[in-house]
Amino acid sequence: MLVAFFRALILYAVVVTGVRIMGKRQVGELQPFELMVTIMIAELASVPMQDTSIPLLNGIISILALLLAEAVISYITLKSERARTILCGSPSIVIQNGKIVQKELARLRYNVNDLLEQLREKNIVNVSDVEFAILETNGQLSVIPKPQKRPVTAEDLKLSTRYEGLPYTLIMDGHIQHKNLTKAGVDINWLLQQLEIRGLKPEDVFFAYLDSQRNLQIEEKEKRR
């Protein structure tokens, strides 16, 4: 029983490490060869996890071999456009100037219902409102509405805007995030001073962050009986 338990933990650690090495993509954003590697890694990990008669090293070596192959292919596709086209395919225009490109849908075996569903997910009701719709190599649909159907921006109204930076988390569940203090360009003395003005200590704070306008926002912990 303990052997199976520790084998499962070791394989879990190997698979998690492998997925981290592959990058920060979601399943829906993976290229075909990346999705295949992910499925195969899960399958290879489950076999020695269930069958303790199979040497654990065999499963680990197989997983590492797939990760190596994925890393090599990723590097090749990064450097070679031709290899990238062969392995990943190329984007396809399925709507152009408000008209569905029927030949392209037929070639991709992509039906109209799926197209309309993805348009609705992007708050597009009418096909005629679309300038271009492009089916990307990962299966996602990119939609470019016609100019008159796009949301109005500050640039359209000729309004000046001020710069907005990234928000930085400074305290999370009572713990000061020292790395973020440095990134935000403030020090711990400033933070403690701001907390003291509000009569708080770091352990009293559930969440505190410096917003995009450089204002400190603080949410106190709920008082528990």
The answer to whether residue 212 sits within a structural domain is yes
Does 42 lie in the same domain as 24?
yes
The answer to whether residue 181 sits within a structural domain is yes
The answer to whether residue 157 sits within a structural domain is no
pLDDT band at 7 (very low <50, low <70, confident <90, very high): confident
The answer to whether residue 156 sits within a structural domain is no
Amino acid (1-letter code) at residue 176: I
Q: Tell me which of 76-90, 102-116, 142-156, 168-182 is least confident.
A: 76-90
pLDDT value of position 165? 79
The answer to whether residue 105 sits within a structural domain is yes
The answer to whether residue 160 sits within a structural domain is no
Does 74 lie in the same domain as 10?
yes
Residues 219, 209: Cα–Cα separation, whole Å: 9
pLDDT value of position 46? 82
Handedness of CA 115, 120, 126, 131 (dihedral sign): negative
Instruction: For residue 209, give its domain range.
Output: 168-220
The answer to whether residue 225 sits within a structural domain is no
Which of 120, 149, 178 terminates a domain? The answer is 149
Number of domains in the chain: 3
Which of 43, 70, 86 terminates a domain? The answer is 86
Tell me the CATH number at 112. Answer: 3.30.240.20
Mean local confidence (pLDDT), 157-166: 81
Over the chain, what is the mean pLDDT?
85
Which of 67, 86, 105 terminates a domain? The answer is 86
Walk across the sheet containing 168-172 and list its strands. Answer: 175-176, 168-172, 205-210, 216-220
The DSSP 8-state label assigned to residue 118 in this structure reads: H
pLDDT value of position 24? 58
Contacts of 184 (CB under 8 A, 6+ apart): 168, 170, 210
Mean local confidence (pLDDT), 21-30: 62
**How many CB atoms are located within 10 Å of the residue 130 CB?**
22
* pLDDT higher than 60, residue 28: no
Residues 220, 208: Cα–Cα separation, whole Å: 8
Does 61 lie in the same domain as 14?
yes
pLDDT band at 58 (very low <50, low <70, confident <90, very high): confident
Distance between start and end Cα atoms, the chain: 42
